Amino acid sequence: MREMIPPWLPDWKDESAYPEKLAPEFWAWEFLRRNAEYQEDYGVFSNLPYADNGNEEHRLMKKWGVFPLHDPDESQPLTIERGLYSEKPPYVYFDGRVRHSEIWHSPPFVFDLRQSLDKQLAECKQWLKCMRDNRGENRGFSAERGKRIQDDSIYRTYLRVLDAERCGASREEMADRLYPDSHTDTPSKALHVARELRDGGYRDLLARL
């Protein structure tokens, strides 16, 4: 059964319906918002009772690397940038844990001098590794992809092939519309890259920030 087509999805046949150039964080969002699993997760999250106390939100932020979670119906969220979510900080501050919301706009490391410094330093080191990995600096995808993509407009084409697939277009239709002068297997190759970007590679786009 074909997946439900979101009402905001552009007409893949209309090139002008897609951006030609965007900042990396916005390209990242355009790919993530097309992920059907993310759409489903956000739908479940948006209907949670307030009494959940943010537990499911934290889990989903960690799963998708987005801080905060964004509605896939929104075309240009303003906060999916350097604050990609990795791990909920475990830092201890005096008599209680620092609230997660207090970490992002304040110095990230808070130490309790009554506790073991070695343990706290190890936690900080682990957090930095997570942040580095989420920025794409320790992943092969971004380095490899960066050698091949010189023009941001290629991302527009990748979005179009994803949308064409979502709408049930055949490879022949994609080839006729998007690659009229190329080999017939070009849409399949483009889809392979586009799916990678949608299903996790969007994080690596942020390594360019």
Task: Kindly state the percentage of the chain with pLDDT values over 90.
Answer: 32
The pTM score is 0.68
Could you tell me the pLDDT band of residue 171, with boundaries at 50, 70 and 90?
Answer: very high
What is residue 18's predicted lDDT score, i.e. its pLDDT? 95
Domain ranges of the chain: 20-82+138-208, 92-134
CA distance readout (Å), 156 to 13, 14, 33, 111, 153: 12, 11, 14, 45, 5
Instruction: Check residue 62 and give its pLDDT.
Output: 80
pLDDT score of 125 more than 60: yes
Summary mean pLDDT of the chain? 75
Task: For 80-108, write each residue's pLDDT tens digit.
Answer: 434 444 444 443 333 344 444 444 444 45
